[in-house]
């Protein structure tokens, strides 16, 4: 709830909504599945500045795709208001369709058409041509151009993604919506992809990108952490880690599972969760914390015990925010 | 217009790239037209006959011989009692029993009158009806023969008799192929029209490509026409192949103009494609659209008058055929091919078909949403 209040302040303080690339106010969306109502979005609000890379970070089922579909005029929200590039998503949907690029989460180009044919097709349905906007896609397209007669279905994941990005960019959109663009793509392609996004940002395009990968949050200008249709926090990546507020400890031993149980048994421990090879631990009070952990290790006869004080990252913040929202 | 042209280009490219579809499109009509008309024969032959002869006379033997020599019947069982004969029917050895009573010959000679019993297995209604009718006709002929032998007719027949001769108009040789082939052609074009287009749109839904199209400024009518026109052309090509086969293989040349048929077919295809598009706006997966279009074309074909005459259907079923576009096309086909009807003869059919086309297509366009609730 704290986060929601902040969002509203953000919009009010700017005063002039037209200056924003995207504004979202109290958007609610529910689905009815077999008579049970599922809340996909529970009244979320935020605003995206022009020329910003704004990340929507959250696990699967957080409501990311519903939000994207509402903003790209594919889905009607139950209530709330949203604008894209100053246009209302309900009233001015036609104007929006001319100026946004959308890359859905699933690779959705024609598998049986070649790279060039796909690109030509998407250029045509947006009433433009490849030649007209070639400068827009040049840098990305050059990487896949050697294979331009190859069918899209036969491309590698990274190339498919570049092609999809070209197709979303071919009509010079002012706002780009990328729904989980890096899901199922290898680490190298992911890195390349983010570099491309930063290039596009330099051309003045506003990018709204969603991802379930917390490590990508640091590459955005600002991020919104979203879970179960609620925004937990909106800030710069640094700001979010700065909000963490408490020292974080990372511990390791050869008997990880038992270690977790013994740490959780301590009443002073606020939270303890597995994180890669380590457990991350936060204490309620910060006195003699290291000694406490070492004592637990001694009493439990843990071997290979290690303890470090570490800087929290976005995932730690997400876990902490999740705990405060769902105690 | 540029967008529409490009949509068509893309659609045709995709169709021609899919080798499986092309094969189905061109091989299916050939196989169906070469096999179905030869197999779907209305004449019933090889009816298995069981005879229960209590008489064992010259006359009874003659009767049985006459029946068998007609070519429609095969003597499969010769039982001494009716019970045993019935047993043969139960075992599906025979379809029909002819019981000749004892003293058949004596009664016929002395009393000028004898009775026979014909029992038919009516599990297959068509076979039973036709088999019964054939055997009655043969027995009547036999009766005539016997009378001819016996009586020297007086100059004036003491009993007035009516002799019927008939000629079959429009199909003088009662060649059922002339009757079936155009109908099967309609069936084919219908299958292509109703399922191919709808599957194509649903595939875009499944692949997610429709999302990309929906966020674009493309107009609904452009999208729908872009889907409709390629399959409309394809179905007309298949129709042409069908007519070529009909002409070369079966020697069927329409009495009327090909143009008349093509004009009607063009409108008919708009209606059927509209129906396919309508299905595609509701279906979410290709399986759904396949099953529904399969179900509909099945009903349409069975209630079209292709296999059984509409006039012999119950009144409620005849009402349904009024709402069945296929029945109109089959009627038009037969009118033009066999009777040589022209455009003015089929004007009501054309009007009805225009109605179907407008109804299905506008429903499809209204129901196609670029965004969902």
Q: A-chain residues within 8 Å CB-CB of B6?
A: 120-121, 124-125
If asked whether residues B93 and B121 sit together in one domain, one would say yes
Average pLDDT over residues B288-302: 88
Q: Are residues A83 and A224 in the same domain?
A: yes
Q: CATH no. for residue A288?
A: 3.30.70.100
Q: Residue B129 sits in a domain of what CATH number?
A: 3.40.1710.10
**To the nearest whole percent, how much of chain B has pLDDT over 70?**
93
3-state SS class at B42? coil
- Residues A125, A230, single domain; the answer is yes
Q: At A52, is the secondary structure helix, strand, or coil?
A: coil
| The model's pTM | 0.74
Query: Residue A10's pLDDT is what?
Result: 43
Higher pLDDT, B176 or B322: B322
Given the DSSP bridges, would you call strands A175-179 and A206-211 parallel, antiparallel or unpaired? Answer: parallel
B205 and B302 inside one domain: yes
Name the helix (H) or strand (E) containing A198. Answer: helix A187-202
**Closest residue in B to A109 (Cα–Cα):** B209
Nearest partner of B217 among A115, A102, A136, A140, judged by Cα: A102
Chain A residues within an 8 Å CB radius of B212: 102, 104, 108-109, 122, 167
A204 in any annotated domain = yes
In this structure, the dihedral spanned by the alpha carbons of residues A7, A9, A13 and A14, taken in order and rounded to 10 degrees, is 10
Within a domain: residue B275? yes
Identify whether residues B12 and B60 lie together within a single domain. Answer: no
* Structural domains of chain A, count: 2
Domain for residue A324, yes or no? no
Q: Based on the domain organization, do A137 and A86 belong to the same domain? A: yes
Please compute the mean of the pLDDT values over residues B96-110 and round it to a whole number: 86
Judge: B216–A75 Cβ closer than 8 Å, yes or no.
Answer: no
Claim to verify: residue A155 and residue A93 sit in the same structural domain: yes
Residue B157 domain flag: no
Whether residue A151 is found in the same domain as residue A179: yes
Judgement on whether residues B346 and B243 belong to the same structural domain of the protein: yes
Nearest Cβ partner for A117 among B13, B18, B209: B13
- Please report the pLDDT score of residue B40 as a whole number: 66
Specify the pLDDT at position A288: 77
pLDDT at A18 over 70: no
Q: Of B14, B17, B209, which has the smallest distance from its Cβ to A108's Cβ?
A: B209
Flag whether B184 is in a domain: yes
Decide which of B105 and A7 is more confident: B105
Q: pLDDT per residue over B192-219, tens digit each?
A: 888 888 888 898 888 888 888 888 888 8
Q: What is the 3-state secondary structure (H, E, C) of A91-103?
A: CCHHHHHHHEEEE
What is the tally of helices (H) and strands (E) in chain B?
Answer: 15, 4
Identify whether residues B96 and B204 lie together within a single domain: no
In-domain check, residue A241: no
Q: Do B217 and A112 touch (CB under 8 A)?
A: no
- Tell me how far apart the alpha carbons of residues A239 and A275 are, in angstroms, rounded to a whole number: 21
Q: How many domains does chain B have?
A: 2
Do residue A13 and residue A136 come from a single domain? Answer: yes
Return the closest-CA partner of residue B295 out of B191, B193, B216.
Answer: B191
Share of chain A above pLDDT 90, in %: 7
Q: CA-CA distance, A3 to A320, in Å (whole number)?
A: 14
Task: Give me the DSSP letters along B8-27.
Answer: HHHHHHHHHH-HHHHHHHHH
Judgement on whether residues A232 and A270 belong to the same structural domain of the protein:
no
Write out the residues of chain B at the interface with chain A, using a CB-CB cutoff of 8 A.
Answer: 2-3, 6-7, 10, 13-14, 17-18, 207-209, 211-218, 370-373
Partner-chain contact A125 B217, CB within 8 Å: yes
B157 pLDDT higher than 70:
no
The CA distance from A216 to the nearest CA of chain B, in Å, is: 25
In a domain, A152, yes or no: yes
Q: Do residue B299 and residue B349 come from a single domain? A: yes
Note whether A38 and A139 are same-domain residues: yes
Range of the domain at B34: 2-40+175-367
Domain boundary among A206, A236, A266: A236
Give the residue from chain A lying closest to B2, CA to CA: A124
Establish if B13 belongs to a structural domain.
yes
Q: Which residues of A touch B (CB under 8 A)?
A: 72-76, 93-94, 97-98, 100, 102, 104, 106-113, 117, 120-122, 124-127, 167
Contact B49, B67 (CB under 8 A): yes
Question: What is the span of the domain harbouring residue A97?
Answer: 2-236
Q: What is the CATH number of the domain that holds A168?
A: 3.40.50.300
Same domain, B16 and B109: no
- Tell me: do B113 and B205 sit in the same domain: no
Q: Is residue A325 part of a domain?
A: no
Smallest CA–CA distance, residue A110 to chain B, in Å, is: 7
Same domain membership, residue B52 and residue B32: no
Whether B216 and A73 lie within 8 Å, measured CB to CB? no
Residue B206 and residue B98 in one domain:
no
The answer to whether the Cβ–Cβ distance between A76 and B372 falls below 8 Å is yes
**Same domain? B97 vs B139:** yes
Clarify whether residues A166 and A290 are in a common domain.
Answer: no
Name the H helices within A226-299: 237-242, 256-265, 289-299
Task: Out of B3, B17, B372, name the one closest to residue A125 (CB).
Answer: B3
Let me know if residue A318 belongs to a domain. no
Q: Do residue A18 and residue A53 come from a single domain?
A: yes
Do A260 and A153 lie in one domain? The reply is no
Residues A185 and A276 in one domain: no
Which residues of chain B have a CB within 8 Å of the CB of A112? Answer: 14, 17-18
Which pLDDT band, with edges at 50, 70 and 90, does B156 fall under? low
Asked if residue B35 and residue B54 are part of one domain, the reply reads no
């Amino acid at each position: 709830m704290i986060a929601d209040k902040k969002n509203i302040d953000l919009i009010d303080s700017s005063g002039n909504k037209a200056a924003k690339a995207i504004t979202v106010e109290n958007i609610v969306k529910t689905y009815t599945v077999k008579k049970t109502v599922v809340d996909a979005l529970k009244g979320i609000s935020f605003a995206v500045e022009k020329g910003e890379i704004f990340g929507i970070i959250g696990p699967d089922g957080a409501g990311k795709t519903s939000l994207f579909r509402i903003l790209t005029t594919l889905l009607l929200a139950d209530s709330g208001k949203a604008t894209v590039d100053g246009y209302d998503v309900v009233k001015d949907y036609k104007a929006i369709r001319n100026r946004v690029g959308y890359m859905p989460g699933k690779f959705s180009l024609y598998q049986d058409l070649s790279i060039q044919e796909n690109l030509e097709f998407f250029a045509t349905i947006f009433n433009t041509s490849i030649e007209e906007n070639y400068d827009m896609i040049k840098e990305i397209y050059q990487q896949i151009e050697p294979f331009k007669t190859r069918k899209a279905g036969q491309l590698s994941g990274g190339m498919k993604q570049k092609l999809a990005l070209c197709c979303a960019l071919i009509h010079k959109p002012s706002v780009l919506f990328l729904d989980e663009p890096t899901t199922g793509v290898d680490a190298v392609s992911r890195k390349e992809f983010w570099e491309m996004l930063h290039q596009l940002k330099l051309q003045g395009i506003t990018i709204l990108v969603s991802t379930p990968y917390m490590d990508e949050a640091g590459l955005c200008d600002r991020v919104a952490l979203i879970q179960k249709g609620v925004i937990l926090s909106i800030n710069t990546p640094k700001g979010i880690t700065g909000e963490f507020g408490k020292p974080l400890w990372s511990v390791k031993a050869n008997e990880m599972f038992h270690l977790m149980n013994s740490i959780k048994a301590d009443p002073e421990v606020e939270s303890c969760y597995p994180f890669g090879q380590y457990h991350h631990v936060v204490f309620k009070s910060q006195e003699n914390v290291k000694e406490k952990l070492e004592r637990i290790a001694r009493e439990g006869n843990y071997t290979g015990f290690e303890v470090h004080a570490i800087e929290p990252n976005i995932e730690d913040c997400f876990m902490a925010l999740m705990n405060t929202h769902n105690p | 217009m540029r967008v529409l042209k490009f949509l068509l280009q893309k659609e045709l490219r995709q169709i021609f790239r899919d080798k499986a579809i092309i094969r189905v499109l061109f091989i299916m009509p050939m196989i169906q037209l070469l096999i179905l008309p030869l197999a779907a024969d209305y004449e019933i032959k090889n009816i298995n006959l069981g005879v229960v002869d209590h008489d064992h006379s010259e006359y009874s033997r003659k009767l049985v011989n006459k029946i068998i020599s007609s070519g429609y019947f095969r003597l499969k069982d010769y039982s001494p009692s009716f019970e045993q004969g019935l047993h043969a029917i139960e075992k599906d050895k025979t379809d029909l029993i002819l019981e000749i009573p004892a003293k058949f010959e004596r009664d016929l000679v002395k009393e000028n009158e004898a009775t026979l019993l014909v029992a038919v297995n009516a599990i297959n209604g068509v076979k039973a009806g036709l088999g019964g009718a054939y055997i009655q006709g043969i027995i009547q002929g036999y009766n005539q023969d016997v009378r001819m032998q016996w009586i020297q007719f007086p100059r004036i027949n003491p009993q007035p008799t009516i002799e019927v001769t008939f000629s079959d108009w429009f199909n003088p040789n009662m060649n059922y192929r002339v009757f079936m082939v155009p109908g099967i052609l309609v069936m084919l074009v219908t299958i292509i029209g109703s399922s191919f287009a709808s599957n194509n749109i649903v595939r875009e839904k499944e692949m997610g490509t429709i999302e990309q199209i929906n966020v674009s400024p493309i107009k609904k009518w452009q999208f729908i026409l872009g889907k409709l026109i390629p399959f409309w052309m394809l179905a007309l090509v298949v129709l042409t192949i069908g007519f070529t086969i009909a002409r070369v293989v079966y020697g069927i040349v329409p009495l009327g103009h090909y143009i008349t048929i093509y004009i009607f077919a063009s409108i008919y295809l708009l209606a059927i494609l509209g129906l396919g598009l309508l299905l595609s706006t509701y279906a979410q997966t290709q399986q759904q659209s396949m099953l529904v279009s399969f179900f509909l074309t099945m009903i349409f074909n069975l209630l079209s008058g292709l296999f059984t005459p509409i006039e012999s259907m119950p009144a409620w079923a005849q009402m349904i055929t009024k709402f069945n576009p296929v029945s109109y096309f089959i009627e038009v086909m037969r009118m033009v091919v066999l009777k040589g009807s022209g455009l003015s003869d089929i004007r009501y059919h054309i009007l009805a078909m225009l109605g179907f086309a407008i109804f299905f297509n506008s429903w499809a366009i209204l129901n196609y949403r670029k965004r969902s609730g």
